[in-house]
Structure 1
C-alpha cells in the first residue's frame, strides 16, 4: 500500500469513527477520466474530508506553509498533506492564482481529479457566495465533467478562530456530473460566467444554503 492509500485509508477510518458522516451520491463520481470537484467551503478541513471520502483521488490546493514547517510538527504536516494529494500554493497573489489554474489544467489533461472552491475562501457566516469563474474556465477549457459537492455541518468540526477539532456529524452530498462543451481556453467571459453560475446553482441545491450575490471577502481577484 502506497503512502497515499495508507494516509487516505487511515484518515477515512478516523472520520468514520469520530464523525459518522452521511455521504450521499458516491456513484456520481466518474470511474475514469478527468473530473472537477466543485464544493462549497465551510471549514479548514473540507479538502481533507473530500479527499478521504471520495472513491477517487482528488487534488486540492493547500497553503504552502503546510509544506514548509520545521521540526517534528512540520514534518508530520508535510507528510500528511502530501499523503492525501494536496498541492502547495501561495495564497493572495494574482500570479500564483493563475499558475494554480494552470496546475489544475495539467492534472486534468493527465486524466486526474481536481478539487476547487468556486467561492474562493471559506464562508464564515454560512452563506453560499457568488462563484468565481476559475471553475468555469477549467470546465470549458478541458470539457471535464464537474461534480458538484455540498458540505453540510463541517463548520462545526473546527469553528472559526479555533485550533482544535471537535468530532461532529456532517453530511457530504455529491450531485450528478455537469457537462459543458469543450471550447478550449479562448472562450468569452460570459460563457465562463454562465457555466460557473450553473455549477453554483447545483451546489446550492445540495446544501440548501442561503445565497449571497456578492463575492466572499478575502478571495483572490477574479
Structure 2
C-alpha cells in the first residue's frame, strides 16, 4: 500500500520541520476502533495528526485533492495519500451523511478515524461550536472518542498561506470518552449532548476561547 511506504518518509520530515511536542499519546488505544476529535486551526492539522498519533489514522479529504495537476497539486496528493486520507465528494446533506457512513465503515473495520467537529478552520483562534456528526459517529459506532488539541499550527500555515513553514507544534491527546445509545430513544438530543461534551474536552486541552456559534466560513486557506 502506497500510504504504508510514504508514512515512514513523511514522519521524520515532520519532526524536523515542526519540532512536535506530544502529550498524552498513551490515551490513544493501540488497537480497535477510535475516533480522534480535534480542533481545527490550519490546513496542516489533518496531515500532522496521522503522523504524530501512535497508530494509523484516516481522515476524509475532498476528492479534488486526489486529482492530477501541477507541482502544488502533486505535493498535496502525495501527502494525503501518505496519511491514509479517504476521498469524498463535498456539498449538501447527502454528501455529509455519506462521509459519516464512510467513517463508520473505517471504525467497524477496527480503524482509527480523525474528525474536526468545527468543520471549517477557525480564522480567529476561537474554538467554534461542534457539528453533531461526531456525536452521530460516536453513538453509532460505540467507539471511544479521544479529544485532541493542536497548538501552533495556525502559525505554521495561516489561512491564506499556500505552504507550511517550519515552526513548533504541540499536540495533546485527552482521555478517551464513550457514548452509548440514548436511554430515552431520542437520538437528536443525545448527539448534541455528546458533541458538546467532546468540544468541552477539546477546549480544556487547547485553552482556546470558546465561541457559542458555528464557524460558517468555508473555503480558502
TM-score by length of 1: 0.92
Q: Could you give the per-residue CA deviations for residues 150-179 of structure 1, whole angstroms, max 9, x where no partner exists?
A: 001101111111113211101000001001
* Residues 1-222 of structure 1 aligned to structure 2 (within 5 Å): 2-70=1-69, 74-182=73-181, 187-218=186-217
- Alpha-carbon contact 1:139-1:182 (below 8 Å) kept: no
Q: 1:71–1:3: structure 2 CA closer, same or farther, 3 Å change rule?
A: same
Distance 1:3 1:200 in 2: 34
What is the aligned length?
217
Q: Which runs of 5+ in 2 are unaligned?
A: none
Give the C-alpha shift of residue 84 in structure 1.
1.2
Q: 1:163–1:210: structure 2 CA closer, same or farther, 3 Å change rule?
A: same
Give the C-alpha shift of residue 49 in structure 1.
0.2
- Alpha-carbon contact 2:44-2:164 (below 8 Å) kept: no
Q: Could you give the per-residue CA deviations for residues 44-67 of structure 1, whole angstroms, max 9, x where no partner exists?
A: 000110011111111101121110
Distance 1:31 1:157 in 2: 29
TM-score by length of 2: 0.92
Q: 1:67–1:48: structure 2 CA closer, same or farther, 3 Å change rule?
A: same
Q: Which runs of 5+ in 1 are unaligned?
A: none
